[in-house]
Amino acid sequence: MFSKILIANRGEIAVRIIKTCRRMGIKTVVVYSEADADSMAVEMADESVFIGPPPAAESYLLADKIVEAVRLTGAEAVHPGFGFLSENASFARRLAAEGIVFIGPNPKAIEAMGDKIESKKFAAKAGVSTVPGHVGEIDDTAHAIKIAEEIGYPVMIKASAGGGGKGIRVAWNRKDVEEGFPAVKAEAKASFGDDRIFIEKFIESPRHVEIQVLGDKHGHVVHLFERECSIQRRNQKVVEEAPSPLLDAKTRKAMGDQAVALAKAVGYDSAGTVEFVAGQDRSFFFLEMNTRLQVEHPVTELITGVDLVEQMIRVAAGEPLAFGQADLKIKGWAMESRIYAEDPYRGFLPSIGRLVRYSPPAEGETVTGIVRNDAGVREGDEISMFYDPMISKLSTWGKTRDAAIDAMGRALEDFHIEGLGHNIPFLAAVMDQKRFRSGKLSTNYIKDEFPEGFAGLPPTDAQRDLMTAVALSMHRTLTRRAAPDLLRQDWIVVVGHQKRAVRVTADNGDFTVEGEGRQTRLESVDWRPGQPLFRGRCQGQDFTATVRPAAEGFIVRHRATTLHVLVLTPRSAALHEKLPPKKAADTSKMVLSPMPGLVVSIDVVAGQEVKTGEVVAVLEAMKMQNIIRAERDGVVKAVNAKSGDSVAADEVLVEFA
Ligand code: ADP
Ligand code: ADP
Ligand code: MG
């Protein structure tokens, strides 16, 4: 076995590999760019080597720098992670020539599978069912039309060298091919320096199902079952699970057998993934093979108990696989959510920046299952523009699919991030949708379910009950001195657009709210003023809500639902009713203080050009820091506040020209 491994990657996957190496007693080296000098991976590795400026082309993609770092540290092998040099056959060859072990497949296998046209030909020869289409290069638009019409519309025009969802376009008719063929050709040339194009049948409303394979250098290949990755945005995976709710035992076996046959035919000798598109009728067709560890590998590890990184290291060191196909069994169900730095409420706009707060859920066994969070960041770290905007991968395991979904829903409640936009509410919405739970997935899922974009989910009755109780409990805590007895009077709680007359009928640690025929029991409350997370048990179920003060009342988010909640006495509710509705001034060119508070910082100056999403100011209210961002692009005309100022709700902080 190796005594020292160099990891030619960064972020969560570098940390993931270090964890397994530590367990195996192997020393680790990471390389890092200027942007990653203080990263978690650098902190955790035994040694680290600086390799250049932030852009990957000047650091992580430079084979020379990696080889130099290996020489400097005396590492015996290189794990490339995913992305970067992981599927680069000439890098694998270069390492071999230098006497360094590449922890991945042999270069011939990388080459054979790295190209979509070649791999499709190869797969067809190995008896794998491929998407009907033309397996060969297409010369020009006229040729493309001829091929498309032979296959029959709709078709998919694809770059042979494509990857990461780029260089792909659907054509529904002749006109689409006339426009699409030159467009994909140009994109392929620009992105991959290779403009070979092919055309295949577009499978409508398909599902993405892939098989994890594992081979050694002694001719053994097994598969570790499937993952379904149909929840995609722009052909990029967002939620993955294992096993797939689509497959039955027969299809699983057929798919697994084909994947193993293909792996054997290319002499595959590491961990890899054979991707298929599947119809709702369980027909399936080979798409491509990824000759590396896959982003979503944790779900396979959770249902099989196999550490794929450990297996990659062992087979690279020449060990034969210690288990055969018959030793592998599926146990339970696993889900993975990719937590991205993007704002789901604004068309999933990238939202990079500093993780002002980063508090993931506790990992390990819980009452319902297992929680695992693969991350490479800590509170205070920055998600930079140079690399993938993934913050972490949250995975859960349960005995059944429902249990895994429940565990994911709970884990997402407990994941708290501030400082940048993130897709946690969106992921929570998917977990709470009936269609997702029913397993009727397709790669159109997000488009079908959120045709107008994402705006949160409407509250259920149970969520209104929960938020009513939470707001009353917060009100009691915050006004304890002024109104010591919550029990003595009636309350009007405005929860979203609903107004409820309620009474608190018990308040001795446990807390009962009654009114309008509903009764809500809130127990084990864990919240103090200033805390953004409110934990408790409602109707016997543990929950976590995100809370923050508003100009009046509170903003409460539970999973995918956010509501404004007001706690009023009947008297103040009556007065409230009489207030003239606030006239909507044109505030489109102003940044207003959303609540009364203390200005911590104003982060712009007059004359400055500001882009949507940039931080304009930071405001502290009830001991919480609130980041105020520009809602649109513009130039700052005036700044009306400075750090240290106390401001009222709706006070103008910054004006745009
Ligand atoms: P996968 O097929 O493993 O699910 P994707 O298709 O989502 O990965 O990613 C497309 C490409 O981007 C892959 O080549 C993958 O290796 C790379 N990639 C994805 N996420 C990261 C990351 N966090 N760091 C580096 N590379 C990544
Ligand atoms: P990449 O190398 O970018 O991962 P893939 O060939 O794996 O490219 O395709 C990415 C995604 O595009 C798939 O997961 C699937 O959702 C969709 N896709 C690809 N080919 C087809 C097809 N022939 N029919 C329908 N969807 C497809
Ligand atoms: Mg793919």
- Residue 607: CATH number of its domain: 2.40.50.100
Single pTM value for the model = 0.88
Looking at every residue in the chain, the average pLDDT score rounds to 93
Domain membership flag for residue 344: no
The answer to whether residues 519 and 611 belong to one domain is: no
Split into its structural domains, the chain has a count of 4
Residue nearest to atom 11 of ligand 1 (CA): 164
Instruction: Look at residues 522, 541, 576 and tell me which one is the last residue of a structural domain.
Output: 576
Is pLDDT at 633 greater than 90 in this prediction?
A: no
Is pLDDT at 392 greater than 70 in this prediction?
A: yes
Q: Which residues contact 47 (CB under 8 A, 6 or more apart)?
A: 27, 28, 29, 30, 73
Cα-to-centroid distance, 117 and ligand 3 (Å): 14
Give the C-alpha separation, 355 to 28, whole Å. 27
Ramachandran region, residue 417 (left: φ > 0; alpha: ψ -120 to 50; beta: rest): beta
Q: Region 104-129: what's the mean pLDDT?
A: 94
The answer to whether residues 561 and 612 belong to one domain is: no
The answer to whether residues 506 and 541 belong to one domain is: yes
The answer to whether residues 491 and 542 belong to one domain is: yes
Give the C-alpha separation, 306 to 241, whole Å. 16
Q: Region 634-645: what's the mean pLDDT?
A: 91
Q: Which atom of ligand 1 is nearest to the CA of 82?
A: 16
Cα-to-centroid distance, 80 and ligand 3 (Å): 18
H/E stretch holding 7 reads: strand 4-7
Domain membership flag for residue 384: no
Q: What is the pLDDT of residue 482?
A: 57
Give the C-alpha separation, 205 to 202, whole Å. 9
Q: What is the pLDDT of residue 496?
A: 92
Domain membership flag for residue 599: yes
CATH of the domain at 185: 3.30.1490.20
Residue nearest to atom 19 of ligand 2 (CA): 287
Helix, strand counts (H, E) of the chain = 17, 40
Give the residues across from 647 on adjacent strands: 597
The answer to whether residues 601 and 652 belong to one domain is: yes
Give the C-alpha separation, 299 to 305, whole Å. 10
Q: Which atom of ligand 2 is nearest to the CA of 204?
A: 25
Could you tell me if 511 and 501 are in contact, meaning their C-beta atoms sit under 8 angstroms apart?
no
Q: Which atom of ligand 2 is nearest to the CA of 208?
A: 14
| pLDDT tens-digit readout, 556-602 | 999 999 999 999 999 988 888 887 666 556 777 888 887 778 899 99
Q: Which ligand is nearest to the CA of 239?
A: 1
Cα-to-centroid distance, 84 and ligand 1 (Å): 9
Instruction: Look at residues 183, 201, 219 and tell me which one is the last residue of a structural domain.
Output: 201
Q: What is the pLDDT of residue 545?
A: 98
Helices (H), 57-173: 63-73, 89-97, 107-114, 116-125, 141-151
CATH of the domain at 465: 3.30.700.30
Q: Which atom of ligand 2 is nearest to the CA of 166?
A: 3
Residue in 210, 240, 288, 342 annotated catalytic: 288
Instruction: Look at residues 201, 229, 253 and tell me which one is the last residue of a structural domain.
Output: 201
Give me the phi and psi of 437, to 5 degrees please.
-60, -35
Ramachandran region, residue 167 (left: φ > 0; alpha: ψ -120 to 50; beta: rest): left
Residue nearest to atom 10 of ligand 1 (CA): 164
* Percentage of residues of the chain with pLDDT beyond 90: 80
The answer to whether residues 488 and 521 belong to one domain is: yes
Q: Which two tokens stand for residue 251?
A: 């299809």
Which of 17, 39, 210, 295 is the pocket-test mutation for ligand 1 (most atoms within 8 Å of CB)?
295
Cis preceding linkage at 243, omega within 30: yes
At 117, the pLDDT band (50, 70, 90 cuts) reads: very high
**Three-state DSSP class for 614?**
coil
Closest-CA residue to 220 (of 263, 174, 278, 255): 263
Q: In degrees, to the nearest 5, what angle opens at C-alpha 74 toward C-alphas 70 and 80?
A: 35
The answer to whether residues 472 and 564 belong to one domain is: yes
Domain membership flag for residue 403: no
Q: Which ligand is nearest to the CA of 233?
A: 2
- Provide the domain limits for residue 546: 461-576
Could you tell me if 580 and 594 are in contact, meaning their C-beta atoms sit under 8 angstroms apart?
no
Residue nearest to atom 6 of ligand 2 (CA): 287
Cα-to-centroid distance, 162 and ligand 3 (Å): 9
The answer to whether residues 465 and 572 belong to one domain is: yes
The answer to whether residues 561 and 596 belong to one domain is: no
Is pLDDT at 625 greater than 90 in this prediction?
A: no
76 included as an active-site residue = no
Domain membership flag for residue 27: yes
Cα-to-centroid distance, 261 and ligand 2 (Å): 21
Residue nearest to atom 8 of ligand 1 (CA): 295
Domain membership flag for residue 89: yes
Q: Which residues line ligand 1 (CB under 6 A)?
A: 11, 82-83, 163-164, 236-237, 290, 294-296, 388, 390
| pLDDT tens-digit readout, 17-34 | 999 999 999 999 999 999
The answer to whether residues 99 and 10 belong to one domain is: yes
The answer to whether residues 69 and 156 belong to one domain is: no
The answer to whether residues 490 and 572 belong to one domain is: yes
Domain membership flag for residue 330: no
Q: Which atom of ligand 1 is nearest to the CA of 295?
A: 3
Is pLDDT at 137 greater than 80 in this prediction?
A: yes
Burial of 327 per CB tally in 10 Å (0-12, 13-18, 19+): exposed
Domain membership flag for residue 398: no
Give me the phi and psi of 116, to 5 degrees please.
-70, -40
Cα-to-centroid distance, 163 and ligand 1 (Å): 9
Please identify every residue whose CB atom is under 5 Å from ligand 3, which is an ion.
Answer: 275
